[in-house]
Amino acid sequence: MTSTTLTPTKPRLGLPSSLRTVLVIAFVLLSVIPVALALTVAILRTSEQSRAQVEAQMNSVLQLKIAALDSDLSNAHTMLRTIRSNPGASASMLGLLEMSDNPSLQASTIEHLGGFLNVEGTQFTEYFVYDVNGNIVGSTSDTQIGKIVRGQPYFTPSLSDDYIQPPYYEVGSNSLAVVMSVPLKDAQGNTLGVLAGRLNMDALAALMSERVGLGETGETYLVSLENSYLVTPSRFEGYPLNRSYRSLAIDEALAGHGGSGEYVNYRGREVIGAYQWLPDLQVGLVAEYERSEALAASQQATLISTAVAVLAAGAAMITGLFIAVQITKPITELTQITQQFAAGDLTVRAKAGGQNEVGALSSAFNQMAAQLQESLTSLEKSVQEARTATAMAREANRLKSEFLSTMSHELRTPLNAIIGFAEIILNGMAGPISEKQQHKIARIHLNSKRLLDLINDLLDLAKIEAGRVDLVAQPFSPRDLAMGVRAQMESLAEQRGLGFDVHVDPKLPTAMVGDVSRIEQVAKNLLSNAFKFTKEGRVEMALHANGGNTWEIIVVDSGIGIPPHALEYIFDEFRQVDGTSQRAYGGSGLGLSITRNLTRMMGGEVRVASTVGEGSTFTVVLPVTLPETAEMAVA
């Protein structure tokens, strides 16, 4: 088990990897998007409805004002007709028109007219009577008497019929005047003069300024066709009557149209308004309401619903977050537990979850953890046992080697004495000996030598196995090495009657670093081995450069060969191909084992290829260490 399998995988590009993040985002989107959509639709609908409502309201106001204005003007004309039909007034006026210089008729006329001026609800500020030449013969305002109205716009039409003079700008005043009139006729139907009334513009203004349901900014006003002056004052300061005012409503109304809509009014404010051209009075009537105030209520409603929606979305988000935490918390904990477990703490267990999927996962994990812990505990126990056994075996082996090493030394001492004395006797230094004796002594000498070799090999192996061999690295010439080995082994080849060649690869470095005596020992071991198992033919040794950072000592013989099954163990101690071979070929059977051990110590390896009856090829592969490399390594 490795700990990496449980570490969280890297997030994929662009997508949130954390389940919690995904859940939170999902909750936010699910809560906010529908709310935002619903809210937008609601606001748009509310806004449009309110706008339409205000527009409808303005239209109603407009119609109310038109009705009121019509009624007022109609009442005003009725008033003039009432005066005309009043017997006293009529007699005075007609008499005065016939005798304009008559002071009593003038006084009587003024008295009658004055009486009607004091009638409650009159729309006039002045009544006056003029003759067919436009001379004012009587008036409730005495400064008017003697004036001539012939040049006034109403003069001509007033002579023939009831007339209303649309607002006109009087010279010397700052306001517009409206004059209404009825002709005064004699019994024959001839017009003798005109009874006229000057309309009370303040009353007209009051009519317009009754702002029922028009809030702080709503207003209704009349605009004259003449230069588009205001006929009735603006509700706001700074807008005198005698200025030209423009707006969509004013332009449209004065062009003879009626309608309603949203526009920028004469004060530069955005308004919702309605307008109508009034042909009788030749004026435009406008009712309008500043958009901001008109829609303030719906804007407030919008604000409240927005706030509620934001709160709801916030609550949904918090709930979502809470749920996400609820879902992901046990998973995160389980992950942490798993990580701890993976890190080696096998005792940790997940908290028991609820009845849900995560709970099931937790208990499944715990089950798995328990099993794993059990398996691992027993496995560890076995490993421990194996380790102990290995250690014991190693120690035993080491003791054996030590024992061998010591024993070999102890054995060599008496053996050297035997060899020494045998040589002394054979050399005749101990006195003359018979030929028979010499032959026997020679046998002793030869066998003692073999025994010594055996012991030496044994000692070597033991030393290696006991770890008492130290390699001494020093520069050497592979060529000198080859020549040295040849010189030492040539006599053996002659003795055995075998051909013997040594080749040195010219590509080999001239100098290398290594334990030259051990390398020589390896070469000699392989050669002794080759000579030993070769009855006829030849033995060759080649030092070969591999081209890489290894070189090879190759020993080829034409000996008996090694059967395939034996290739596996020929390097083991005390092994020769079979039990018989030891007796037939002699030798300790330790040479190859020593060779392999030494080669391994030098960082190399031994390979063998062989065909039974044809011969064997042993190859020792060693690393190339050049003197510079060695120096550098030292440096």
Partner 1 sequence: MRRNIFALLIVIILMLAGCTAPAAPQVEITPVRLQLAWVPTIEYSPFYVAEANGLFAQEGLDVEFINGGFDENFAPIDQVARVVNGDADFGMATADRLLAARADGAPIVAIGALYQRTPIAFISLAEHGITKPQDFVGQDVFVDDVAGSSGLSYVAMMTNLGIDRSQINEIPRDDYSNEALLSGRVTVMSAFVNNQPVQLVEQGYEVNTILVSDYGVDIYANVIFTTEEMIANNPDLVERFLRASVAGIEAAISDPEKAAEITVAQSDELNLESETLSMLQALPLFNPAGTQVGMMNDSAWSLTADMMIEQGLLPADVDVQSAYTLEFLNLVYGE
The contact set with partner 1 (CB under 8 A) reads 134, 142-143, 145-151, 153, 165-172, 174, 226-227, 242-244
CB closer to partner 1, 171 vs 212: 171
Query: Within 10 Å of residue 5's Cβ, how many Cβ atoms?
Result: 8
Smallest separation (angstroms) from partner 1 to the CB of 165: 7
Give the nearer residue to partner 1 in terms of CB position, either 251 or 262: 251
Sort strands 283-290 and 474-476 into parallel, antiparallel or unpaired.
unpaired
CA distance 578 to 569: 11
Of residues 273, 192, 266, the one with CA closest to residue 229: 266
The residue (of 145 and 630) whose beta carbon lies closer to partner 1 is 145
Q: CA 189, CA 466: separation in Å to the nearest integer?
A: 162
DSSP code of 602?
Answer: T
CA atoms of 388 and 396, how far apart (whole Å): 12
User: What is the C-alpha separation between 329 and 568, in angstroms, rounded?
Assistant: 60
Instruction: List for the chain the helix, strand, coil content (%; round to 5).
Output: 55, 20, 30
> 171 vs 634, which CB is nearer to partner 1?
171
- The residue (of 134 and 330) whose beta carbon lies closer to partner 1 is 134
- Beta bridge partners, 276, equal 285
What DSSP state is assigned to residue 549? S
Token couple for 231:
């006929």
Give the nearer residue to partner 1 in terms of CB position, either 246 or 439: 246
Q: Which is nearer to partner 1, 149 or 195 (CB)?
A: 149
**Nearer to partner 1 (CB atom), residue 173 or residue 378:** 173
Looking at beta carbons only, is 169 or 365 nearer to partner 1? 169
User: CB of 179: closest distance to partner 1 in angstroms?
Assistant: 10
Rounded-to-10 torsion of CA 113, 117, 122, 123: 80
Nearer to partner 1, 74 or 242 (CB): 242
Task: Work out how close the CB of 46 gets to partner 1 at its nearest, in angstroms, rounded to a whole number.
Answer: 42
Maximum Cα–Cα distance across the chain: 212
Give the whole-angstrom CA distance, residue 542 versus residue 556. 8
- Shortest Cβ distance from residue 229 to partner 1 (Å)? 9
- Smallest gap from residue 133 Cβ to partner 1 (A): 9
From the CA atom positions of the chain, what is the Rg in Å? 68
- Please, what is the minimum distance in Å from the beta carbon of residue 204 to partner 1? 17
Map tokens 């060695």 to a residue. Answer: 630
Whole-number minimum distance, CB 176 to partner 1, in Å?
9
How far apart are alpha carbons 249 and 389 in whole angstroms? 111
CB 329 within 8 A of CB 359: no
Tell me how far, at minimum, the Cβ of 66 lies from partner 1, in Å. Answer: 23
- Exposure of 21 by Cβ count < 10 A (0-12 exposed, 13-18 middle, 19+ buried)? middle
Q: How far is CA 103 from CA 144, 186, 562, 635, in A?
A: 15, 21, 173, 149
342 alpha-carbon distance from chain centroid: 30
Least distance from partner 1 to the Cβ atom of residue 43, Å: 42
Nearest-angstrom CA–CA distance, 572 and 589: 9
Kindly state the smallest distance separating residue 283's Cβ from partner 1, in Å: 12
Nearer to partner 1, 144 or 550 (CB): 144
> Which residue, 244 or 326, is less far from partner 1 as judged by CB?
244
Q: Which helix (H) or strand (E) holds 564?
A: none
What CA–CA distances, in Å, run from 592 to 182, 468, 531, 600? 154, 19, 13, 12
Smallest distance from the beta carbon of 136 to partner 1, in angstroms? 9
CA distance 593 to 407: 19
Q: Where are the beta strands (DSSP E) in 410-531?
A: 474-476, 499-504, 512-514
- Closest distance of CB 147 from partner 1, Å: 4
For residue 145, the minimal CB distance to partner 1 (Å) is 7
Which residue, 243 or 351, has its beta carbon nearer to partner 1? 243
Residue-wise DSSP of 11-36: PPTTS---HHHHHHHHHHHHHHHHHH
- Categorise residue 614: left if φ over 0, alpha if ψ from -120 to 50, beta otherwise: alpha
Nearer CB in complex with partner 1: 97/622:
97
Give dist(CA 170, CA 183) in Å, integer: 22
Q: Which tokens hold the place of 180?
A: 């209404």
3-state DSSP assignment of residue 577: coil
Nearer to partner 1, 177 or 462 (CB): 177
Closest CB to partner 1 among 124 and 245?
Answer: 245
Q: Going by DSSP bridges, is the β-strand pair 538-545/499-504 parallel, antiparallel, or unpaired?
A: parallel
CB of 150 to partner 1, least distance (A): 6
Query: Taking the complex as a whole, how short is the minimal distance between the CB of residue 148 and partner 1, in angstroms?
Result: 4
Q: What is the smallest separation between the CB atom of 227 and partner 1, expressed in angstroms? A: 6
The C-alpha atoms of residue 247 and residue 241 are separated, in whole angstroms, by 15
CB 180 within 8 A of CB 79: no
